[in-house]
Structure 1
Amino acid sequence: MPKPDRYDYIIVGAGSAGCTLANKLGADTSKSILVIEAGPMDRDLLIHIPAGVYRAWRDPKLNWNYLTEPESNLLDRQVDMPRGKVVGGSSSINSMVYMRGHPLDYDAWADHFGLTDWRYENCLPYFRAGETYAKGSNSYRGDSGPLGVHPGDFDNPLYDAFLEAGEQAGQGRSDDLNGFNPEGVARLDATKRHGRRCSAAVAHLRPALKRGNVTLMTRTMVKRLTFDGTRATGLICDFGSKELRLEAEQEVILSGGAINSPQLLMLSGIGPADHLNRHGITPLLNLPVGQNLQDHASIILQFESLHSYPIHRVDRIWNKARVGAQWVFTRRGIAASNIWEAGGLIRGNDTVPYPNLQYHFGPVGFEYVGDKIQLRQAFAIHVDQLRPRSRGEIRLASANPTDKPLMHFNYLQDPFDLQELVEGVQKTRELVAQPAFDGLRGAEIDPGPEVQTAKDVENWIRNATVTDFHPCGTCRMGHGDDCVVDDHFRVKGLQGLRVVDASVMPRVISANLNAPTQMIAARAADYIAGQPQLDPIKAPFAFQN
């Protein structure tokens, strides 16, 4: 329990953004910083064993376990929406894939949303400064940052076949999707260091806590923000059986993510006025909080493997013990792998300006039976639609902070999104049909050989679409009336309050969101502290017209 009740900065959420902010802002040891996390400390060993993620992320003690509202375009199914409720946030329970997104994503923020300071050349120096890349530095990669990043190196012939097949199918090949060539199939990077997960808590928060000016409160539920007029002064939270009032001398920073940050804003009277009134909340400021919700819809294709590899049998009890012992003593082997060590950014058709589909490839098949994962002698390919046109919203279920918010993602509401996933099925089947998989490829499990007509594929997609865990956009940054924060993350119309997390993205990045979120937070820390931004890096990138 912290002794003082006043701090220079209070950060709500110890996830990817909150940990990064605490580390950078805390470098000035004259500043006192409080980080508040609703979940526990990240002590569970399965968090830190890379392959343990497939148990850890389903643990209700570490996960908010959100569900969407019934999605009308997914046969009224509710979609599981895991979010980290633990120190490190979702970076402690995700699959550790490190992807920055395509340079044109950031240039589009500048060109389409007037965010001129968010071009790729302005973001690249923060990506470089934030990482230590195991292969060393170059114009794109850093070697002295807090986040450990390691390229995939787990040996399995199915990875090799996937990469060769991508070339044979004409889908391209890249040595580094985060480098010069952000297109094609490749071995993927992971947020790992010495065979262990390198979460935002490991990379950023632990060093920050050692300085002595950063305090962490876990298992603490923030109920609402407090204001003096239009200035945020702090918050009220439940800590154990006590209700505490904590005050911020300079700023309160919300880093709860695309679901929790808009929820807390609305509970505090900041959001659509008519919606707040319906829940008996007096509006302080009418802003489009909770709108512009976006995510990467994902489908998973699986194929039998004609060869059995050790990874296919790792769920057997004696194999688990052997693999676990190997990791404990060497930090190597299957347990040191995040499994999705290959993937790609590809184009579903010839008209898109840059890749609109993403692969994550794993050399093992699986299904969940209850809360347990059952492995198959197979391989699996996630296919994500990267730039959806459908938009959803976050809404309050009630004025009770403990009630989970209502989330309508409206997956596939726009027919364009369904068509791109249809193309994703076609591209994946083309890739797996290539000679590189001859002798390795068995029967198609999902969707299955009986799913052939366009209508059959569409029906399967509606029944099979899930999330790839990348919600964003609900506190959009920009300059118009449809924005919640400005390009320095200040909540419009208020003082002393910012939102810094994936919710500020005006448009979802065309890849996984953990790395972009940490980059955003690192830039935000410099804005908040009044430090100059890092010098732009005008590094070229491969681009096919």
Structure 2
Amino acid sequence: MTQSAGKYDYIIVGAGSAGCVLAKRLSDNPANRVLLIEAGGKDDYLWIHIPVGYLYCINNPRTDWRFKTEPDAGLNGRSLGYPRGKVLGGSSSINGMIYMRGQSQDYDGWAQACGDDAWRWDQVLPLFKKSEDHYQGATEFHGAGGEWRVEKQRLSWEILDAFRDAAAEVGIPKTADFNRGDNNGSAYFDVNQRRGVRVSTAKAFLKTAGTRGNLEIMTGCQVKRLTLKNGPDGVRCTGVEFTGGGVHWSAESVHETVLCAGAIGSPHILQLSGIGSAALLQKHGIAPMVDSPGVGENLQDHLQIRMVFKVTNAKTLNMMANSWFGKMKIGMEYAMFRSGPMSMAPSQLGAFARSDPSQVTPNLQYHVQPLSLEKFGDPLHGFPAFTASVCNVRPTSRGHVRIASGDATQAPQITPNYLSTAEDRHVAADAQRLTRRIAAAPALKKYAAQELKPGAMFTSEEELVRAAGDIGTTIFHPVGTCKMGAASDPMAVVDSALQVRGVAGLRVVDASIMPTITSGNTNSPTVMIAERAAMLILAAHASSSKG
């Protein structure tokens, strides 16, 4: 038997980076009744809030969906763990906390793709600033007083400073700020923290909104499908069906239902509901309501090539964390000052560079760490080393997310298709060559950097591509699977107002709507997308109320 959860003006599916922002903005008006549904639990797990706690949140069923990719030819047949947050705050509760917007050209490209100048950089910059609370205060490029706190990191490392100097010696200049539309150069990343404690979107946007009488938050509830009805004006979404606490629930939306389940969850829910490729849906016994072949396609991600260099005469986290005295010192520093390694983002130093001079803007991003390990989850190496992870931030490879069955509890098939284009393979080889040039620069000479991974024996283009496939892994930035586009694009799932084509009363608001991936970390661009969506939704409702 299905139990009614009630009728709401707006239903939001997913309390992740976008869903928390939307819940706050839509419920600011006490006349709006809002339901926020989250499959995960509350964010009351200690390790969510301590920055280094991502080590205990990723691959933890309490906080992570623990998806796996299909074996990938570009990774030499390997399958990857694919972390996605399953908790209030979504991936912002388990991610690297890096505040990054991308490049102005990213958003100008979106505007061109969907034929709407409202997505241009100069138009979205005020949206970034609206939610921002930047440590420098209000400036031309930054906002103050918003919910989304941005601070400098609370530590530095000599070996990272030397890497930054070495990068400058090979032509990568130092910069003071990655977030002014041109991120060329190197700097320590700014982070979403407040005095050494993680700031997730749940903490930032739901902290006050969650006490409102007009906002209902239901955790531990997984959406099975959208409720769709055929009418004289076509298909309309009227709500959702979901399970939670052993109960089968239904909820009705008066104005709109908004999918904020992320680049994996949103296309999965659409497909389960009968919106997607008709052939795929029929294969799994789902009656197509709207034949939308782009649902689940256009998956893009940043593949990080984790190059490791063994060093001498350098202090790195490897040695500090491999002794009881070092661990005790680390713990005391955090307990007393909220600083030190426990306040670290997973990556501290960043750099943006061109893989070759023909690139108009930087197409590589470095995440540099004063540590090394075989793979995520393994113990740190017992010798001093640093890791220089390098990503192609404008990959041309495209993958997909597709239902594996009509059962909502079964994970979808995730196929990234990394390194599936000749361009991406060439950039991967060039990225490793550039990293070697940095490691050999004079500023790092006294540390005698010795390449451990992938190894100096890989030199030819073919060998370097093979090495990238062996050591490459996701840096947790999947986007694009419900892409925004013009009416002339048959693969566009949503229009420039993020409304699902062919379905009234339904929008998608999360990283899945990105036509192309941003040139950098994707969390804060998702917050910006939610800010724009909130404006569009509230304006549409105000217009309909007057009408």
Matched, 1:525 2:531: no
Q: Which secondary structure state, in structure 2, belongs to the residue aligned with residue 520 of structure 1? A: helix
> CA-to-partner distance for each residue in 1:120-156, whole Å, 9 max, x for gaps?
0011001111111112221101111101111234121
Going from structure 1 to structure 2, the CA distance change for 1:180 and 1:390 (only over 3 Å counts) comes to closer
Matched, 1:399 2:406: yes
Q: Which residue of structure 2 lines up, in the alignment, with residue 439 of structure 1?
A: 446
Matched, 1:36 2:43: no
Q: Which residue of structure 1 lines up, in the alignment, with residue 459 of structure 2?
A: 452
Q: Which residue of structure 2 lines up, in the alignment, with residue 537 of structure 1?
A: none
Mapped contact 1:368–1:374 kept (Cα < 8 A): no
Query: C-alpha separation between the residues in 2 aligned to 1:315 and 1:37?
Result: 38
Mapped contact 1:174–1:181 kept (Cα < 8 A): no
Mapped contact 2:365–2:393 kept (Cα < 8 A): yes
Runs (4 or more) in structure 1 with deviation over 6 Å come to: none
CA shift for structure 1 position 366: 2.0
Query: C-alpha separation between the residues in 2 aligned to 1:510 and 1:249?
Result: 37
The aligned runs of 1:51-130 (5 Å cut-off) are 51-130=52-131
- Candidates 264, 267, 282, aligned match of 1:262: 267
Query: C-alpha separation between the residues in 2 aligned to 1:321 and 1:220?
Result: 40
The aligned runs of 1:118-157 (5 Å cut-off) are 118-157=119-158
CA shift for structure 1 position 405: 0.2
> CA-to-partner distance for each residue in 1:39-87, whole Å, 9 max, x for gaps?
1111111111111212222312211111111112221111221111111
Query: C-alpha separation between the residues in 2 aligned to 1:132 and 1:70?
Result: 41
Query: C-alpha separation between the residues in 2 aligned to 1:26 and 1:416?
Result: 46
Mapped contact 2:74–2:418 kept (Cα < 8 A): yes
Amino acid in structure 1 at the alignment position of 2:128: F
The aligned runs of 1:190-339 (5 Å cut-off) are 190-229=191-230, 230-287=235-292, 288-309=294-315, 311-312=317-318, 313-339=320-346
Going from structure 1 to structure 2, the CA distance change for 1:310 and 1:383 (only over 3 Å counts) comes to closer
> CA-to-partner distance for each residue in 1:306-343, whole Å, 9 max, x for gaps?
13536222254453344234323321222112141211
Mapped contact 1:172–1:346 kept (Cα < 8 A): no
TM-score by length of 1: 0.94
- Candidates 464, 474, 479, aligned match of 1:472: 479
Query: C-alpha separation between the residues in 2 aligned to 1:441 and 1:358?
Result: 24
Matched, 1:354 2:361: yes
Amino acid in structure 1 at the alignment position of 2:386: F
Mapped contact 2:113–2:485 kept (Cα < 8 A): no
**Count of matched residue positions in the alignment of Structure 1 and Structure 2:** 530
Mapped contact 2:103–2:182 kept (Cα < 8 A): no
Query: C-alpha separation between the residues in 1 aligned to 2:270 and 2:461?
Result: 43
Greater shift in the superposed pair: 339-348 or 503-512: 339-348
Q: Which secondary structure state, in structure 1, belongs to the residue aligned with residue 503 of structure 2? A: coil
Amino acid in structure 2 at the alignment position of 1:95: G
Amino acid in structure 1 at the alignment position of 2:278: A
CA shift for structure 1 position 458: 1.7
In structure 2, stretches of 5+ residues that fail to align are 542-547
Mapped contact 2:159–2:314 kept (Cα < 8 A): no
TM-score by length of 2: 0.94
Q: Which secondary structure state, in structure 2, belongs to the residue aligned with residue 373 of structure 1? A: coil
CA shift for structure 1 position 367: 2.8
> CA-to-partner distance for each residue in 1:194-218, whole Å, 9 max, x for gaps?
1100111111122211333212111
Query: C-alpha separation between the residues in 2 aligned to 1:115 and 1:483?
Result: 14
Going from structure 1 to structure 2, the CA distance change for 1:35 and 1:321 (only over 3 Å counts) comes to farther
Matched, 1:513 2:522: yes
Q: Which residue of structure 2 lines up, in the alignment, with residue 536 of structure 1?
A: none
CA shift for structure 1 position 483: 0.6
Query: C-alpha separation between the residues in 2 aligned to 1:315 and 1:487?
Result: 51
Query: C-alpha separation between the residues in 1 aligned to 2:194 and 2:357?
Result: 38
CA shift for structure 1 position 531: 7.8
Q: Which secondary structure state, in structure 2, belongs to the residue aligned with residue 155 of structure 1? A: coil
Query: C-alpha separation between the residues in 1 aligned to 2:156 and 2:481?
Result: 40
RMSD: 1.8
Q: Which residue of structure 2 lines up, in the alignment, with residue 541 of structure 1?
A: none
Q: Which residue of structure 1 lines up, in the alignment, with residue 492 of structure 2?
A: 483
Q: Which residue of structure 2 lines up, in the alignment, with residue 47 of structure 1?
A: 48
Query: C-alpha separation between the residues in 1 aligned to 2:246 and 2:304?
Result: 41
Query: C-alpha separation between the residues in 2 aligned to 1:79 and 1:295?
Result: 13
CA shift for structure 1 position 416: 0.6
Going from structure 1 to structure 2, the CA distance change for 1:320 and 1:213 (only over 3 Å counts) comes to farther
Percent pairwise identity = 38
In structure 1, stretches of 5+ residues that fail to align are 533-545
